[in-house]
């Protein structure tokens, strides 16, 4: 099984990773012809970031569901694992999805670089390089050397590039290199208009491509010529104006231009990346709360993050022959953007180009239909339907089990929250009538019904569940639930809603 190591940098990295997790949970396969194992590594100094914490919880629930109920095809069928699970020997990895940045918590930048211990020439150079000012988390203007880094680099990539360069000597990087094979790939998620992402992308990319010069790691040859994809997220939301915040809308474009100019020589100009995806959206919409990080930085999910996650799927479907490297350089670099068919405020499946619509509409709709049944009908059907009563039973005892009560319901609750947030954040993604009857769940789709065609209601849903469970055997109740609902929702949506497989 080939692996994809995903480096998700900063708040945008966590939010794109969350969207990728939703896509994989729905049953979208990165490559139907090849099994992939996803190894996420979140890089963010802001450990109290709510976006990071929500993504970590989601990944943990995904793992539990996949381990207990996942099958080779269906919901949760792509394996997601932490880096430590790849390592057979004792190691110092935490077992979480988060890269352990050293010496960042409760630390000012000047302390990180031992500013007061520098000799006179180095002291003077640091004064020049970091002579600007920023606003700290208490709204006070401070010198860059006095920036507190536990809420991130607050739009200062020059600081971020210094701190994140510890990546090359980290235990995590050593383990990636030691467990990296020629079939594996790497993908880097970052924004370009802030501090952590803008600094992290070129820093991590440089250290991977310069692997042959790093004597502290094994597997350097495979790593140096690895197939690397990346998504560079340009400004896609606005924030409220706040006088005491270090983050301002007016800075986004300037920071983007400066970063792109640097990338021109050090990323795209030197063929360091095999496939680079660009995305932005100037639609605007309601401005987000201006929170540099001290209040948790919980942003609503955004359609751009879903489109960015699709770049990862696209990268894994790209043939090996198009991603060849020599001496750490991509031979034929690929550059892509994302577009929609109709420039509308609320995107439905029909507003995508055909390829994207066919790729995601059925699977995401299946997960939505699965969630709707569990929320509205599961208890009523659990004690009186053949599909639930036949062994292994999916009755009330199963519904009270921690697998269902904690992992499944919490994940699907997060899925519903994600859909609602994407309806209302920026350019809305609203393909569903979430609170409607079953037969009007998917916007723009007319359900087939009439004298010889049954209505889509919960009685019809139960009939389909009974049909697909009849005569089947399952190794566990959890696998029965995942397989049965995947096949049933696929049947309903293709036969009654006209969605394509």
398-416: pLDDT as tens digits? 999 999 999 999 999 999 9
CA dist 40 → 21, 33, 55, 161, 364 (Å): 10, 22, 11, 21, 21
Q: Is 15 helix (H, G, I), strand (E, B) or coil?
A: helix
CB 247 within 8 A of CB 10: no
CB 17 within 8 A of CB 49: no
What share of the chain has pLDDT > 70, as a percent? Answer: 82
pTM of the model: 0.89
**Contact residues for 157 (Cβ-Cβ < 8 A; gap 6+):** 194, 195, 196, 198, 199, 255, 259
Q: Please return the burial class of 181, using the count of CB atoms within 10 Å of its CB with bins 0-12, 13-18 and 19+.
A: exposed
% helix / strand / coil in the chain, to the nearest 5? Answer: 45, 15, 40
- Total number of residues shown for the chain: 501
CB atoms within 10 A of CB 280: 18
Work out the mean pLDDT of the chain and round it to a whole number: 85
CB 45 within 8 A of CB 54: no
Average pLDDT over residues 382-404: 92
pLDDT bucket at 290, cuts 50 / 70 / 90? very low
> Poorest-confidence range of 14-28, 57-71, 92-106?
92-106
CA dist 246 → 76, 141, 241 (Å): 40, 9, 10
Q: Is the pLDDT of residue 295 over 60?
A: no
pLDDT value, residue 333: 96
Average pLDDT over residues 201-209: 89
Q: Alpha-carbon dihedral of residues 241, 243, 249, 255, nearest 10 degrees?
A: -170
Average pLDDT over residues 7-12: 90
Which H/E stretch holds residue 319? none
Give the tokens for residue 71.
């099958």
Q: Please return the burial class of 375, using the count of CB atoms within 10 Å of its CB with bins 0-12, 13-18 and 19+.
A: middle
CB 283 within 8 A of CB 203: no
pLDDT bucket at 237, cuts 50 / 70 / 90? low
> Poorest-confidence range of 47-56, 149-158, 208-217?
149-158
CA 136 to the chain's CA centroid: 28
Within a 13 Å sphere around the CA of 94, how many CA atoms are in the beta-carbon half? Answer: 10
Whether omega for the bond prior to residue 392 falls within 30 degrees of 0, making it cis, is yes
- Using CA atoms, how far apart are residues 416 and 372, in angstroms rounded to an integer? 9
Q: Is the pLDDT of residue 126 over 90?
A: no
H-helix segments, 179-219: 196-209
- Using CA atoms, how far apart are residues 59 and 61, in angstroms rounded to an integer? 5
418-443: pLDDT as tens digits? 999 999 888 889 999 999 999 999 99
Q: Is 271 helix (H, G, I), strand (E, B) or coil?
A: coil
Q: Is the pLDDT of residue 250 over 90?
A: no
For the chain, the domains span 2-107+149-338, 361-495
pLDDT value, residue 415: 98
pLDDT value, residue 170: 83
Average pLDDT over residues 343-367: 95
Task: Give the max Cα distance, the chain.
Answer: 89
Q: Is the pLDDT of residue 453 over 80?
A: no
CATH topology (fold) of 2-107+149-338: Rossmann fold (3.40.50)
Q: Is the pLDDT of residue 149 over 70?
A: no
pLDDT value, residue 194: 67
Average pLDDT over residues 302-319: 96
> Poorest-confidence range of 63-72, 174-183, 286-295, 379-388?
286-295
Average pLDDT over residues 88-104: 67
pLDDT value, residue 72: 79
> Poorest-confidence range of 32-36, 49-53, 292-296, 491-495?
292-296
Average pLDDT over residues 92-97: 70
Whether omega for the bond prior to residue 444 falls within 30 degrees of 0, making it cis, is no
Choose between 493 and 218: higher pLDDT. Answer: 493
What share of the chain has pLDDT > 90, as a percent? Answer: 51
Q: Is the pLDDT of residue 71 over 90?
A: no
């Amino acid at each position: 099984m080939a692996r994809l190591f995903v480096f998700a940098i900063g708040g945008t990295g966590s939010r794109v990773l969350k969207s990728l997790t939703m896509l994989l949970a729905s049953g979208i396969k990165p490559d139907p012809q090849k099994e992939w194992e996803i190894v996420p590594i979140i890089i963010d100094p802001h450990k109290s970031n709510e976006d990071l914490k929500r993504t970590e919880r989601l990944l943990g629930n995904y793992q539990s569901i996949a381990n207990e109920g996942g099958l080779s095809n269906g919901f949760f069928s792509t394996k997601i694992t932490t880096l430590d699970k790849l390592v057979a020997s004792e190691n110092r990895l935490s077992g979480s999805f988060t890269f352990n940045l050293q010496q960042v918590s409760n630390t000012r930048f000047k302390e990180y670089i031992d500013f007061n211990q520098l000799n006179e020439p180095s002291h003077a150079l640091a004064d020049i390089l970091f002579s600007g000012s920023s606003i700290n988390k208490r709204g006070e203007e401070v010198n860059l050397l006095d920036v507190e880094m536990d809420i991130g680099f607050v739009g200062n990539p020059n600081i971020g590039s210094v701190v994140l360069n510890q990546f090359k000597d980290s235990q995590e990087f050593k383990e990636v290199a030691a467990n990296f094979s020629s079939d594996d790939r790497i993908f880097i998620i970052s924004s370009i208009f802030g501090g952590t992402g803008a600094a992290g992308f070129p820093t991590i990319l440089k250290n991977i491509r310069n692997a042959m010069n790093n004597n502290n790691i094994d597997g350097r040859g495979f790593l140096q010529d690895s197939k690397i994809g990346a998504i560079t997220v340009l400004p896609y939301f606005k924030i409220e104006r706040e006088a005491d915040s270090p983050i301002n809308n007016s800075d986004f474009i300037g920071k983007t231009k400066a970063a792109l100019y640097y990338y021109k020589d050090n990323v795209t100009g030197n063929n360091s990346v095999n496939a680079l995806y660009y995305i932005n959206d100037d639609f605007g919409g309601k401005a987000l709360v201006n929170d540099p990080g001290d209040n948790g930085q919980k942003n609503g999910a955004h359609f751009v993050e879903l489109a960015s996650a699709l770049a990862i799927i696209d990268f894994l479907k790209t043939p090996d022959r198009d991603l060849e490297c020599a001496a750490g350089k991509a031979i034929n670099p690929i550059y892509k953007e994302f577009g929609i068919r109709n420039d509308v405020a609320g995107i439905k499946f029909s507003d995508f180009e055909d390829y994207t619509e066919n790729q995601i509409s059925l699977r995401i709709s299946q997960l939505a239909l699965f969630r709707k049944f569990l929320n509205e009908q599961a208890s009523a059907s659990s004690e009186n339907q053949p599909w639930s009563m036949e062994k292994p039973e999916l009755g009330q005892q199963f519904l009270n089990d921690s697998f269902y009560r904690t992992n499944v319901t919490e994940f699907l609750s997060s899925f519903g929250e994600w859909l609602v947030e994407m309806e209302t954040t920026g350019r809305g993604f609203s393909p569903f009538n979430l609170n409607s009857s079953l037969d009007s769940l998917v916007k723009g789709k007319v359900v087939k019904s009439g004298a010889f065609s049954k209505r889509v209601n919960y009685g019809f849903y139960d009939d389909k569940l009974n049909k697909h469970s009849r005569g089947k055997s399952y190794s566990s109740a959890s696998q029965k639930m995942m397989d049965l609902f995947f096949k049933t929702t696929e049947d309903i949506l293709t036969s009654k809603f006209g969605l394509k497989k």
